Structure 1
Amino acid sequence: MTADNAALVAWTARVAQATRKLLPKGGDLAWLLRQSMHTHFQRLAVLPVFGLSRGPVRVLDVGAGTGALCLDLAWMCGPEARITAVDNDAHGLSLLRDLAAALHLAVDARLADAYALPVESASQDLTLSRFLFQHLERPEAALAEMVRATAPGGRVAVMEVDDGAWFSYPDEPPALERLNGAVRQLQASVGAGRQVGRRLYRMFRAAGLADVQVLAVPRVRLGLTYGRDSELETHQKEFYLNQRDRLIGAGLMTAAEFDEAMRALDASFAADDFGFACEFVAIGRVP
């Protein structure tokens, strides 16, 4: 299912307007709301691979956060669709509900754990997650729950990052490499980590899914999104700043090393450096 370009542009503008109004309520999730705006077209480009159509489809978004993905699905599938969003963060779900109301969309937002989804077995046509597995200690168990929730013939999909698919020109300065390495270590200490994308194929095969495909979704930073963009620069810096105290507290880097890395990031922005990243989308069918 696709929408014409004018409809996509109008939809992204509506979402951006509603999201900006909600930012003062965002608190520690304001960065996530901003990220959802910056990556909107990237998400929309991927949605057609799920094979959804307008009508009474049943979709479960696991680890929905503030609703970046499920709101797009609710818009594309129409009012007859049954969209369920699950997350273990009550604040995020509250923001999701506010956004859904502002956009006049019906989303059933439920507070629950990815390892115990609050839906009946074989009750969904599509069960998916985006940027969740990197935070989970047991992603295979979460995938098994997603398979359980999905009806025979239905699809399971996981969208994830893999930092191993990143390169830049010129090469990143050592200070920034150290910072990114520390971020990977920190996340891997509490979950699957930021190189989980490469693991999805085997996970899906081991879970018994059929017709498994893994798509690579490129994301290029040439300067920034389309040339220099101070708003996006600020957002990218906030990603690191939000983790500063934890990185230092875990002994992964010193305050001086962190500050040096942020200066290197500013210099990379100023030099309009090229960067390439790749995300992975794994899709499988429940037999």
Structure 2
Amino acid sequence: MSLKKMQSSSEIPAVLVIESAKFQRRSLCRLIRAAGADRVAEAIGIKDAERVLAKDTASHWLVVADPELIGNDGIPALKALADAFPVVGTLLLSHRRANLLGELRGQAERHGLDFIAVLRKPVSAEEMGTLLLQTRRLQIPGRSADTRMRILGKEELSECLRAGGLRARFQPKVDLDTGCPVGCEAAPFVNHANGVLSFASFSQALKQLNAQRVMTASLLRDAAELVGLLRERSLGAKVAVKLGADMLSEAGDAASLDAYVRTLGIAPSDLAFEVTDGTKAASSFTFDDNLARLKVRG
């Protein structure tokens, strides 16, 4: 599938392709540019990658590499690279069969490498375009354990909500059988003076403020923006937004969600609502009725 080059977006990080074979490296760079990246650099190995990252002035980088071509220590080397430079994430590629990609994923997790997906080669322009759009708003992972484990109180979270600091970033959803991205999922975070904080840092404060619906509205706004970008480029990936059971606990919740999504300019079928465990609805009948109505609306 051919893609028109995306409009420039400062939110998409620069991309560094690490590949020893010149033909494959140049082909991958062309694919990534066609998929929408404005800045693409290339390196033949880790040492060359360090040189490129040290010289270039880009503030955020996405690294694309096949760790098995780097060597036996490919994953640790990519982790060290990400720790030393402003890398927001790593896209891992592999020639392994789809059912073996989980081994590579597990190795990356054990070494603490922040990766956005593990994909089987060759990667299509559509897959790369979808993944690049999902890297918007990715932040450089915190280097301090204190920042990552920071717990917000309800007063701090309330201030963040008033300032519009609760946003969504998007994580790829990959088919484990094929290794291909099939969509993405909205994950909430807040911009705080101490850094970017994940949902675990403010989940308790969110409950205390009874602000789950405020969070859902924020996630839906950002999801609608991403859907618009995907559809502009003829990419059919769905965007998933998680709903707590309490979001369907009152009569009319399904209609309210449907109406709100439509005000954002997208069709309900562009989204995938994933209902998670949470506060049980006061009436199981009300919950089931809302769920059925959402399904009818697509």
State the TM-score, normalized to the length of structure 2.
0.30
* Larger RCO, structures 1/2 (Cα 8 Å, 6+ apart): 1
**TM-score of the two chains, using structure 1 as the length reference:** 0.31
Which structure's CA Rg is the greater one?
Answer: 2
